[in-house]
Amino acid sequence: MPRPAFASGAVARPANRAKAVTAARGRPIRSIACVGEVMIELSPAGADTARVGVAGDTYNTAVYLRRALPGAVEVAYVTALGDEAMSARILDALGNEGLSDRLVERRRGAVPGLYAISLDQSGERSFTYWRSTSAARTLFTPPCRVDLAALDGFDLVYLSGISLAILPPDVRTRLAEWIDAYRARGGQIAFDSNYRPRLWPDAATAQAAMMALWQRTDVALPSLDDEEALFGAEGETAVRARLRSAGVAFGALKRGASGPRAVDDGGQGLAVTPVVDVVDTTAAGDSFNAGFLAAYAGGADLTAAMAAGHALSAEVIRHPGAILPKPA
């Protein structure tokens, strides 16, 4: 089965961790930027009570990446926030998780988004959002301190379909242009389409934006249900073929309880044991992405990266909310 070639590369790591290596197309992965929207989360804590947390798809991945990677690897979160109490709460959460906030834009008078989780009897979740005026929608929009060039120094940049959806069309265009130059310099893009229909004006716009990103992706982390929700019920073989036609050569197609499958021509699947004690599937895909990328950054091959992603996701869905309590 084809997989990225890895070459040795040095980075300071604890003695009990494997040495970092050069993954896929470029340099050793010493820094990762996760781009998108972080929100205030209300998760069920009783019949009429809610637990207040901080979460969001790429933020969830950033948190679990930071926990999984050695401290020598920088993990930064890139977003825009307001200047009020809930934004301060989010900044505190970033700091408590050890995430770099040096690329967090602050907007006077703005506020972060808010969402509430509802769960059915099997632990499957649905969401209600209040995010139409979120500060994150102004990310990379002038006047700004954090522009796209601020991402130049990172070895890997991770985005999702939600990251794209919240950006104005002109910023999405500039993002694609920046990615082309960034990859030409050896940088790598990881992408999860993570389709949320209500964030897009129509499906055609979302399809065009997603395919433009798949054409610029080095590490693909799609979910079968998202891809079929956007492009129709193609079946996993057709989904993988469409992604490969866009140039995707490495990554994993997430298939829920069926486990991940390689997106390449071999299409190797990972045998998994179903999780029987599911509590909350929030952040299942986000945590898979973190486990996968952490293993990939450490030099793991595709099978080992898929196994790491599945193991982390299986643990997360046994607990309520997107973020597990921080380990001691």
Q: Tell me the pLDDT tens digit for each residue of 49-95.
A: 888 899 999 999 999 999 999 999 999 999 999 999 999 999 999 99
CA distance 298 to 41: 31
* Average pLDDT value for residue range 276-295: 92
Interatomic CA distance for residues 138 and 134, integer angstroms: 8
Q: Flag whether 4 is in a domain.
A: no
Position 98 scores a pLDDT of 96
The runs of H, that is alpha helices, within 117-272 are: 161-165, 169-184, 203-214, 224-231, 236-245
| Residue 108 belongs to a domain | no
Domain membership of residue 304 (yes or no) is: yes
Query: Residue 142's pLDDT band (boundaries 50, 70, 90)?
Result: very high
- Domain harbouring 271, CATH code: 3.40.1190.20
What does the DSSP 8-state code read for residue 215?
T
Instruction: Report, as an integer, the average pLDDT of 114-121.
Output: 84
| pLDDT computed for residue 273 by the predictor | 84
Which two tokens mark 230? 């956007």
Q: Is the confidence at residue 134, as pLDDT, over 70?
A: yes
Task: Tell me what pLDDT residue 21 has.
Answer: 32
Is 105 a member of any domain? no
**Which pLDDT value is given to residue 272?**
85
The type of residue at 246 is A
User: Is residue 17 assigned to a domain?
Assistant: no
The per-residue pLDDT for 11 is 26
The DSSP secondary-structure symbol of 256 reads G
Q: pTM for this structure?
A: 0.88
When divided into structural domains, the chain yields a total of 1
Q: How far apart are CA 156 and CA 188, in angstroms?
A: 5
303: containing domain: 26-35+57-77+142-316
Instruction: Provide the pairing of β-strand 39-44 with 50-55.
Output: antiparallel
Q: Specify whether 286 is catalytic.
A: yes
β-pair partners for 134: 111
Q: Pick the catalytic residue from 57, 226, 280, 286.
A: 286
SS3 304: helix
Cα 224–225–230 angle (5° rounding)?
Answer: 100
Structure confidence at residue 271 (pLDDT): 83
| pLDDT (mean) for 129-133 | 91
> Is 13 among the domain residues?
no
Give the model's pLDDT for residue 242.
96
Section 137-148 average pLDDT: 97
Does position 211 have pLDDT exceeding 70, yes or no? yes
Q: Is 128 among the domain residues? A: no
Quote the distance between the C-alpha of residue 323 and its chain's center.
14
Identify whether the C-beta of residue 4 lies closer than 8 Å to the C-beta of residue 103. no
Digit-coded pLDDT (tens) for 147-203: 999 999 999 999 999 999 999 999 999 999 999 999 999 999 999 999 999 999 999
Of all residues in the chain, what percent carry a pLDDT higher than 70? 91
Is 220 within 8 Å of 194 (Cβ atoms)? no
Identify the sign of the CA torsion 104, 97, 114, 313: positive
Instruction: Give the dihedral of Cα atoms 211, 290, 285, 184; nearest 10 deg.
Output: 0
Model pLDDT for residues 9-45, shown as the tens digit of each residue: 222 222 222 233 334 444 689 999 999 999 998 888 8
Contacts of 303 (CB under 8 A, 6+ apart): 268, 270
* pLDDT per position as a tens digit, 237-267: 999 999 999 999 999 999 988 999 999 988 8
Residue 211 lies in a domain: yes
Say which residue the tokens 């977003």 belong to.
Answer: 79
